[in-house]
Chain A
Amino acid sequence: MMSNVQAVTILLVEDDPGHARLIEKNLRRANITNQIMQAGDGQQAIDYLFKEGRYAGSPHDPPLLVLLDLNLPVLNGYQVLKRMKEDPSTRRIPVIMLTTTDDAREITKCYDLGCNVYITKPVDYQHFSDAIRKIGLFLSVVSIPGGGY
């Protein structure tokens, strides 16, 4: 379904393996077949996005979309978001914040830093599934700028 765009990978930055698994399962249920790249902390996400550290010289394309948690080890979600939105090579990649916090100030801060959507992970699993499915729906219609770098 995404054959006509270059970027095919979804970067999922999530330190809770349970959450990561639930997100992945629900994306698959929403017929999202893209490769899902998982990063367990903010530094790994930065390394992947900017081909630094362990990803130095890696030939991978930039991701189609970043799903980003806020509370992360090493570098937190704000730091990843800020770096992405400041850098011309990554600032156009859509970023969906996906976190357990529904604090108004944090939501505002993320939008100020340039996130595209802020979603609070609902404790109710039906709502959780619905939210992820809607991301899937969003993904099926989203167009990203071609060319990337």
Chain B
Amino acid sequence: MELTSVYLTEELAALRQRVAELEASEAVRRRVEAELRGRAYQQAMIAKLGQRALAGGDLDPLLDEITVLVTLTLKVDYCQILELHPDRDLLRLRAGSGWPAELIGQATINADPNTHLGYTLFSSKPVIIEDLRTDPRFNESGQLYGHKLVSGVSVIVDGQQWPFGVLSVHTAHKRKFTQDDIYFLQSVANILGTTADHRRTQLALQDANDKLEQRVKERTADLQAANEELRNFAYIISHDLRAPLVNIKGFAGELDYSVDILRAALNPILPQLDDTHRDDLMTAIGQDIPEALDFINSSVSRMNSLINAILKLSRLGRRELLFEAIDMTVLVQDTLASLAHQVEQTRTVVMVDPLPEVVADRTSMEQILGNLLANALNYLIPSRPGQITISGQASPEAITFRISDNGRGIAQDDLSKIFDIFRRAGQQDVPGEGMGLAYVRTLVRRHGGQIHCESELEVGSTFIFTIACNLAEESEHDV
């Protein structure tokens, strides 16, 4: 019995010990489980924030969301995000939870390193405060905007070039923050820092884009003003330059009448004059005056035709274009048919590749092809049969046409000026006013295209021009 009793007592003690152990391990298990749950929850929150940050959009809603989320997750009384002023001397309360709404975006605090917020800006690690009132690192009363703060953690929200600011949490009572809590806050600050940096870059990019757009607008306005000036110029030419010509030509005509009257009046009295006077008079009335008037008249006519050429150019630049689908192969054949006599005379072989269809103004295309083909035929070398090739190629942006000849070619030095008004290159043995290629270039430009020439003397020239696609949808191109 005694033995049994001892045995039993020992057994009971062991059993009690075992139960106690089991109870203890159960408590540990529960604690660990709770910690794990808490950590998993925090990680889920971090993931959620990360997604929110990646979604883009304004920074402010994200900041608000962060403060609410941190407050709930860490069960703190206050959470605030303070943004560092570019001068680095002020922190502004950009978002906050637990603070009166009127403080958000308004309240500021000096970024003084003797305060825990200023101190955080210089700390690479989270700043953990057990009691703000007694913490020897800071010279603070434990009051912020009239609220009592006791414990807290604050972390820097860092950026690539300069810190965004500080993220901090506070409690109104003493509280010990776990390592998990601190990691969590640090992770939130990291996400926030990256996002703020990204937004900053986006804003800078947007700003650069806006400035670029502004510059484009200004340049466009300049160009429009220049165009307007050119149009006025054309008007001035048509009116103001013509007016004196009317007078010169008119009074030259009047002089002509007067000479006729003089001649008729003088004829009967000529025999009565001495030889010298008679010869002088006859020379003046019969030769000198008519010669002078002829020069005046021909010069005025030349000037008038130059003015008319400039006017025509300005009208080509203003005429309303009607865009339609054009079979260029047919148009080239029609143009060649109108030049058939010259093709035959120059024994020219013309090769026309199948050409792409274009959407363009028909009259303009006729004028472009007419000018270029006539030029190709006009400037051949008479001693050899002519050879002209016309080809075309379509790309998504533009259609390119090439007109090649085996004519006399254009000197390299002259290539840049052949599209200018009144400029002609090479031997001047073919009549022309030097406006053809200027008209062509104006028309090509109005079709959103470009024209240039490749040439070699004695070998031949190739004129290459483009016509932009989708012309019908676009607004008209200004010259």
Which A residues lie at the B interface, using CB under 8 A? 16, 18-19, 22, 25, 70-71, 99-103, 121-126, 128-129
Residues of B within 8 A of A (CB): 235, 238-240, 242-243, 245-247, 249-254, 300-301, 304
**Which label, helix, strand, loop or mixed, suits the secondary structure of the B interface?**
helix
Give bound CA distance, A126 to B253, whole Å. Answer: 8
Q: Which of A16, A25, A123, A129 has the most CB of B within 10 A?
A: A123
Assess the B251–A22 pair: CB atoms within 8 A. Answer: yes
B239 touches A129 (CB 8 A): no
Contact A123–B246 (Cβ < 8 Å):
yes
Q: How distant is the Cα of A124 from the Cα of B305 in the complex, in angstroms?
A: 11
Q: Knowing A16-B243, A19-B243, A100-B243 touch, does A124 contact B249 (C-beta < 8 A)?
A: yes
A to B CB contacts below 8 Å, 14 in the list? A16-B243, A18-B250, A19-B246, A19-B247, A22-B251, A99-B239, A100-B242, A103-B235, A123-B245, A123-B300, A123-B304, A125-B250, A128-B246, A129-B253
Write the nearest CB–CB distance from B126 to chain A, whole angstroms. 77
What 16 new A-B contacts, CB under 8 Å, besides A22-B246, A100-B238?
Answer: A16-B246, A18-B246, A18-B247, A18-B250, A19-B247, A19-B250, A22-B247, A22-B250, A71-B239, A100-B243, A103-B238, A123-B246, A124-B249, A124-B304, A128-B250, A129-B253
- Known A-B contacts A123-B249, A128-B246; the reply to A22 vs B254 at CB < 8 A is yes
CA distance A129 to B246 in the complex (A): 11
Minimal Cβ-Cβ distance residue in A for B300: A123
| A26 → B minimal CB distance (Å) | 9
CB-defined contacts of A25 to chain B, threshold 8 Å: 254
Instruction: Report, nearest first, the 9 A-B pairs whose CB atoms are least far apart.
Output: A125-B253, A18-B247, A100-B242, A22-B250, A123-B304, A125-B249, A101-B239, A123-B245, A100-B239
Q: How far apart sit A125 and B253, CA to CA, in the bound complex (Å)? A: 6
Residues of A within 8 A of B301 (CB): 123-124
Residue of A nearest to B243 (CB): A100
Q: What's the nearest-Cβ distance from chain B to residue A15, in Å?
A: 9
What chain A residues lie within 8 Å of B238 (beta carbons)? 100-103
Q: Chain B residues with Cβ under 8 A from A128's Cβ? A: 246, 249-250, 253
Nearest CB of chain A from residue B298's CB, rounded to whole Å: 12
Contacts of B235 in A (CB 8 A): 101, 103
Which residues of B sit under 8 angstroms from A103, Cβ to Cβ?
235, 238
User: How far is it, in angstroms, between the C-alpha of A121 and the C-alpha of B242 when the chains are bound?
Assistant: 9
Bound Cα distance from A22 to B254, whole angstroms: 8
Verify A121–B253 contact, CB threshold 8 A: no
Report Cα–Cα, A18/B304, bound state, in Å.
18
Q: Which residue of B lies closest to A126 (CB)?
A: B253
How far is B249's CA from A122's CA once the two chains are assembled, in angstroms? 10
- Note all chain B residues with C-beta closer than 8 A to A100: 238-239, 242-243, 246
When C-beta atoms are compared, the residue in chain B nearest to A69 turns out to be: B243
Q: Taking the nearest CB of chain B, how far is it from the CB of A28, in angstroms? A: 12
- CB of B139 to closest CB in A, whole Å: 81
CA distance A22 to B246 in the complex (A): 9
CB neighbours (8 Å) of B253 from chain A are 125-126, 128-129
**Whole-angstrom CA separation of A123 from B254 in the bound complex:** 14
A residues within 8 A CB of B254? 22, 25
Q: Point out the residues of chain B lying under 8 angstroms from A122, CB to CB.
A: 246
- In the bound complex, residues from chain B placing their C-beta under 8 Å from that of A124 are 249, 301, 304
Find out whether the CB atom of B239 lies under 8 angstroms from the CB atom of A125.
no
A87 to B378, CA, bound (A): 59
| CB-defined contacts of A71 to chain B, threshold 8 Å | 239-240
Q: Which of B250, B252, B254, B300 has the most CB of A within 10 A?
A: B250
B239 pairs with A18, CB closer than 8 A? no
In the assembled complex, the Cα of A128 lies from the Cα of B297 at a distance in Å of: 14
Min Cβ gap A132→B in Å is: 10
The answer for the CA separation of A102 and B242 in the assembled complex, in Å, is 11
Smallest Cβ-Cβ distance to A129: which chain B residue:
B253
Q: How many Å lie between the Cα of A70 and that of B247 in the bound state?
A: 17
**Shortest Cβ distance from residue B292 to the other chain A in the assembled complex, whole angstroms:** 15
Q: Which residue of B lies closest to A17 (CB)?
A: B247
* C-alpha spacing A128/B246, complex, angstroms: 8
Closest to B314 in A: A103
* A18 and B301 alpha carbons, distance in the complex (Å): 18
Cβ-defined contact, B252 with A125, below 8 A: yes
Tell me, rounded to whole Å, the shortest Cβ–Cβ distance linking B308 to chain A.
9
A69 CB → nearest B CB, Å: 9
Tell me the complex Cα distance, A101–B311, Å. Answer: 11
- State A99–B251 Cα separation when bound (angstroms): 17
